[in-house]
Structure 1
Amino acid sequence: MRASGNRFKAALASGRPIIGLWVACADPYLALVAGGAGFDWLVVDGEHGPNDVRSILGQLIALEASDAALVVRAPMGEPWLIKQLLDIGADTLLVPMVDDAEQAAALVRAVRYPPAGIRGVGAGVARASGFGRDAGYLARADDGVCLIVQAESRAALENLSEIAAVDGVDAVFIGPADLAADMGQPVASAAVQEAIAAGIATIRAAGKPAGIMTPDETLNRRYLDLGAQFVAVGADTLVYASALDALARRYGLGEPDAQPATY
């Protein structure tokens, strides 16, 4: 296991912008490649990547030596799954589709042990505690978890002040693709961009760090200028596909008019 202390929390506490990458290939070997690239943080994606608890575990083990802070995106905010992800050693969770403060508060309870929460106590057999070798794990586990909730709908933006104000929510991440779909507009449209800008301002006004992801460099730099602190600038699958397409086209192969992938 990595040394104690939540790297992602520490990076947020520094106040500096941190740049991340989505790890969606669902493979420990490719995760190793991403882990050596120099990103500040990496997201092992369990929502849209073809991952389960065992494959996420494999990638966490592969990334132990990486200097990047590790985030795991759960496919859903179910307490039983959150319990398993924490037990295998994920200490920073990104949970999608959080639309109101009640959902956010339920997630806080799911990542904390009783009496503050409902996380089942099985650390003695879990990787998170070094399989029982870390005698102090239970005492500091709650403080060691970083919870990021994902706001990606019109309802979430309407409730954003209340969501961000929930004690135990460490940061709020805006999901631009789902937000744009919910609004019936392209991500780059003025309406969606105005909503994102307002959302970043609302999160910051609540005293919480704001995050976002897009492979569009122009938008990423705009979000950083707006005050987003943790920004993911691409996904390994998209980078891999784009690089292979470009290589093939240099030899007259593939689709010459293929458009770059979007997220």
Structure 2
Amino acid sequence: MPIRLSLPPTFRDRLEAADRPQAGMWVCTGSPLVAEICAGSGLDWLLIDGEHSPVGLETITALLQAVAPYPVTPVVRAPSGDAVVLKQLLDLGVQNVLVPMVDTAEQAHDVVRAVRYPPRGVRGVGSALSRGARWNRVENYLADADRYVSLFVQVESVAGVENAALIAGVDGVDGVFVGPSDLAASMGVLGQQTHPAVTAAVHRTFEAVRAAGKPVGVNAFDPAVAQAYLEAGASFVLTGADVALLARGAETLADRWCAQG
């Protein structure tokens, strides 16, 4: 007889159960070894980046396998909200999806449908072939699939901020993540994530999402900025990245040991 398996709680479940904001970091190297090191750090969650990092389906599978023994919750940022891409991510075992560049409630509805099986959505059925259902070893996976998947969308444009309340109000959207970098670009202040106008837009988004009863998160590498956003109501934050830690650490070594003589 095959082993009957259960799946870990989703990021939605973790946020609902948490008594404090959840702190995490980006995983961008594509290295399972680096991902495992990060997974054992004591952080609450990791964001595996499929949008701006050199990772494909096989690499994401290996990263999920590397972090699986640890209590950290992995979230995967899809490269887009394309229904085929989302289907592939869910089938390979992604339970927590972040979809970038969601500007309207209509787009949010589309990605909700993409992660749900018919008749509520359009996700293709391949559970017998996929790691997501552990090759049909998760009992009643098809009937319970919505319980095993959490969906977060990213607001990172002027349009997204204006529509944040409607986006957050879409049934099936479990939370909103604000991206100040692209938001700054959308507002005409490229590279100025802490520009007062950008910060104000982030705060407006926080208020709209929280009023809709959904958790809101944000990216902030500067500890003071991250703390300020937590005090403004963020439920989850990203405060660093594997590649940034490696780059800055290597530069510190070079400054110390290569600037002599």
Go from structure 1 to structure 2 and tell me whether the alpha carbon gap of 1:79 and 1:123 turns closer, same or farther (over 3 Å shift). same
**1:243 paired to 2:249:** yes
**1:115 paired to 2:119:** yes
Query: TM-score normalised to the size of structure 1?
Result: 0.93
Q: Select which of 55, 61, 86 maps to 1:57.
A: 61
Measured after TM superposition, the shift of residue 179 of structure 1 is 0.1
Q: Select which of 225, 231, 235 maps to 1:229.
A: 235
Distance 2:231 2:164 in 1: 20
- Can you list the C-alpha shifts for 1:151-208, whole angstroms capped at 9, x where unaligned? 0000011111110100000000111000001111211111111111111111101100
Further displaced range: 79-88 or 183-192: 183-192
Percent identity between the two aligned chains: 45
Measured after TM superposition, the shift of residue 2 of structure 1 is 8.3
Do 2:5 and 2:139's aligned partners in 1 also have CA atoms closer than 8 Å?
Answer: no
Distance 1:251 1:83 in 2: 49
Distance 2:247 2:9 in 1: 32
- Number of corresponding residues: 254
Give 5+ residue unaligned stretches, structure 1: 255-263
Q: Which residue of 1 aligns with 2:16?
A: 13
Q: Which residue of 2 aligns with 1:173?
A: 177
Superposed counterparts of 1:90-129, under 5 Å: 90-129=94-133
Do 1:148 and 1:169's aligned partners in 2 also have CA atoms closer than 8 Å?
Answer: yes
Distance 2:79 2:216 in 1: 20
Distance 1:251 1:60 in 2: 37
Query: TM-score normalised to the size of structure 2?
Result: 0.94
Give 5+ residue unaligned stretches, structure 2: none
Further displaced range: 92-101 or 14-23: 14-23
Tell me the secondary structure at the aligned position of residue 129 of structure 1.
Answer: coil
Q: Which residue of 1 aligns with 2:162?
A: 158
Distance 2:161 2:50 in 1: 23
Aligned partner of 2:114: which letter?
A: A
**1:37 paired to 2:44:** no
Q: Which residue of 2 aligns with 1:259?
A: none
Distance 1:147 1:8 in 2: 9
Do 2:23 and 2:45's aligned partners in 1 also have CA atoms closer than 8 Å?
Answer: yes
Measured after TM superposition, the shift of residue 253 of structure 1 is 4.5
Further displaced range: 191-200 or 97-106: 191-200
**1:135 paired to 2:136:** no
Distance 1:138 1:181 in 2: 41
Q: Select which of 68, 72, 81 maps to 1:68.
A: 72
Do 1:2 and 1:64's aligned partners in 2 also have CA atoms closer than 8 Å?
Answer: no
Do 2:23 and 2:239's aligned partners in 1 also have CA atoms closer than 8 Å?
Answer: yes
Do 2:10 and 2:148's aligned partners in 1 also have CA atoms closer than 8 Å?
Answer: no
Aligned partner of 1:238: which letter?
A: A
Aligned partner of 2:248: which letter?
A: S
Distance 1:84 1:252 in 2: 46
Do 2:10 and 2:95's aligned partners in 1 also have CA atoms closer than 8 Å?
Answer: no
Measured after TM superposition, the shift of residue 135 of structure 1 is 3.0
Q: Alignment RMSD, CA only?
A: 1.5
Measured after TM superposition, the shift of residue 6 of structure 1 is 2.5
Go from structure 1 to structure 2 and tell me whether the alpha carbon gap of 1:222 and 1:231 turns closer, same or farther (over 3 Å shift). same
Distance 1:234 1:163 in 2: 26
Tell me the secondary structure at the aligned position of residue 132 of structure 2.
Answer: helix
Measured after TM superposition, the shift of residue 3 of structure 1 is 4.3
Distance 2:34 2:52 in 1: 16
